[in-house]
Amino acid sequence: MPHFRDPLPTSGRTREVSPSATQGNGSATAGAAEAAAPAPAAVPRLTTPIVGPREQFDQRQQNHTRISLGELGEKAAAAWNSESVDPFRRIFYPLNRPQNVAMRSWLKVADGPLNPQRVEVRNPAKMSEIIKGVGKFLGASEVGICELDPAYVYSHRGLRIDFYKGRAGTPITLTHRYAISILIEMDYPNFRNSPGFIDDAAVGKGYLETAKVAVSLAGYIRELGYPAKAHFHLEEEVLHIPIAVMAGLGELARNGSMITRKYGPRHRLATVTTDLPLAVDQPVDLGVQKLCRMCTKCAVSCPVQAIPKENELPVIRGVQKWYLDNDACATYWTANWKRWNSCARCIAVCPWNRPWNRRQRLATWLVPRSKLARRLLLKLDDLLRGKRPNPQVEWLYYKQKGVKDAGLYVVE
């Protein structure tokens, strides 16, 4: 039987866990909509404090579902469920002509049969290195690993497709022990401004690419003989952000997204859950929350003021974090369906959303180290890009501002 037994030392942020030391290997089956989840194990340097018993979230309450079912108003539902003028929207989201949507055909390979020839894993740290290498080879920008915490598994199914298929409300049982977080950078040139079809296209591509890596990586692990399931936009049972934070990829920010040093909030996430023996990473402190406490650029730029400007953080399902008005955000996406189909203004304007050049390397090195540097860097960002950046952006036959019908810009 094949096996991995390379005794190489592990990378800096990876640590091995003994089976008895884990807390995320229980069943996530929920009896109630917001079932209590076990308290987390020690999470050194987690900058988003866990201060009380966590609760699972019911997927039927997530905002994509709520808007499509008309819970945020008939007008918003009518727009959300209608065909977009933008062909990119139509190839990335299976709303009206699913036959043209590549991601949909991967639903059947999100999970699957195991190779009966199981590879023996004698060194989980080495296996983690291999899995990260495979993930990056498949196209991931970053890969991190943590134990699967049941608090970040949805209690019940509730995507729109679940309502169509009559399985909404089914309790979710996900007993895998580990979660592999997959991150893919979204193109900077598309993210200089938002909302518009230019950043929408990069969002759709991000969903497609994270799905591709997740299904391929899950399949790879099943070929090693271990259970693995891909969680991506059309088929997800987990909250990707807390998993990515626990896996050491970044920190939760004021704008509700996770921020990494290199890509800021400009990335998409997917997750593979598995029982393959792995060593896990630790959460990181990059100075993100320190900077957020001095900055409100996303909040002042948000068209519907969905992001709080205050630093008094409420406790939401046991976690102390900024509270965003997610319904206002989702409704805004439908405000002008002929010009945009989602919004990411809070990503576009963020000082962490910059090309990864020498200046950005230096800036992100300084941020966690000096309050004065943080103050000066924010001033510099205001000076160079404006307090509410709003540049004109053009791409292919799209124009971000000044066109009535941005998706049908004439090709001559």
> Applying CB under 6 A, which residues contact ligand B12?
48, 57, 62-64, 203, 233, 236, 239-242, 245, 252, 256-258, 265, 267-269, 306, 316, 319, 321, 324, 326, 329-330, 342-344, 346-347
In the complex with ligand B12, the residue whose CB is nearer, 326 or 390, is 326
b/e map of 50-77 (b: 16 or more CB within 10 Å)? beeebbbbbbbbbbebbbbbeebeeebb
CB of 250 to ligand B12, least distance (A): 7
CB of 264 to ligand B12, least distance (A): 8
Q: Which does 302 bind (CB under 5 to 8 A by kind): ligand B12, ligand SF4, none?
A: ligand SF4
In the complex with ligand SF4, the residue whose CB is nearer, 56 or 342, is 342
Please select the residue that binds ligand SF4; options are 36, 304, 316, 373, rule is CB under 6 A: 304
Q: In the stretch 313-342, what mask flags binding to ligand SF4 with x, by CB under 6 A?
A: ----------------x--x----------
Sequence length of the chain is 412
Residue 186: DSSP 8-state: P
Residue type, 157: R
Supply the DSSP string of 19-31, one letter for each residue: GGG-SS-S----S
CB of 316 to ligand B12, least distance (A): 5
In 3D, which of 227, 222, 271, 268 has the Cα closest to residue 246? 271
In contact, 202 and 186? CB cutoff 8 Å: yes
Which residues from 350-409 bind ligand SF4, rule CB under 6 A?
350-352
Cα separation, 241 vs 252, in Å, equals 8
Q: Where does 186-317 have alpha helices with state H?
A: 197-223, 240-246, 288-292, 297-301
Q: Which does 350 bind (CB under 5 to 8 A by kind): ligand B12, ligand SF4, none?
A: ligand SF4
Q: Which does 295 bind (CB under 5 to 8 A by kind): ligand SF4, ligand B12, none?
A: ligand SF4
Structural tokens at position 162: 């679940």
Structural tokens at position 105: 């055909």
Beta bridge partners of 394: 399
Q: Which does 326 bind (CB under 5 to 8 A by kind): ligand B12, ligand SF4, none?
A: ligand B12
Q: Which does 292 bind (CB under 5 to 8 A by kind): ligand SF4, ligand B12, none?
A: ligand SF4
Q: Which does 239 bind (CB under 5 to 8 A by kind): ligand SF4, ligand B12, none?
A: ligand B12
Q: Please, which residues have CB within 8 angstroms of residue 193's CB and are 6 or more apart in sequence?
A: 199, 345, 348, 389, 390, 391, 392, 393, 400, 401
CB of 306 to ligand B12, least distance (A): 6
CB of 404 to ligand SF4, least distance (A): 21
Q: Please, which residues have CB within 8 angstroms of residue 292's CB and are 6 or more apart in sequence?
A: 253, 254, 322
CB of 179 to ligand SF4, least distance (A): 24
Cα separation, 130 vs 147, in Å, equals 17
CB of 348 to ligand SF4, least distance (A): 8
CB of 358 to ligand SF4, least distance (A): 20
In contact, 53 and 37? CB cutoff 8 Å: yes
Cα separation, 367 vs 84, in Å, equals 41
In the complex with ligand B12, the residue whose CB is nearer, 228 or 241, is 241
CB of 217 to ligand B12, least distance (A): 15
Structural tokens at position 87: 């062909």
Q: Which does 215 bind (CB under 5 to 8 A by kind): ligand SF4, ligand B12, none?
A: none
Q: Which does 332 bind (CB under 5 to 8 A by kind): ligand B12, ligand SF4, none?
A: ligand SF4
Please select the residue that binds ligand SF4; options are 298, 363, 377, 393, rule is CB under 6 A: 298
Is residue 198 at the binding interface for ligand SF4, with CB under 6 A as the rule? Answer: no
Stretches 172-180, 269-277, 290-298, 388-396: which one binds ligand SF4 (CB under 6 A)? Answer: 290-298
Burial environment of residue 405 by CB neighbours within 10 A (0 to 12, 13 to 18, 19 or more): exposed
Stretches 65-73, 121-129, 227-235, 249-257: which one binds ligand SF4 (CB under 6 A)? Answer: 249-257
In the complex with ligand SF4, the residue whose CB is nearer, 89 or 212, is 89
Cβ count near 297 (within 10 Å): 23
Cα separation, 323 vs 328, in Å, equals 12
- CA torsion sign for 87, 91, 92, 97 is positive
- Give the footprint of ligand SF4 on this chain (CB under 6 A): 253-255, 291-292, 295-298, 302-304, 306-307, 329, 332, 343-346, 350-352
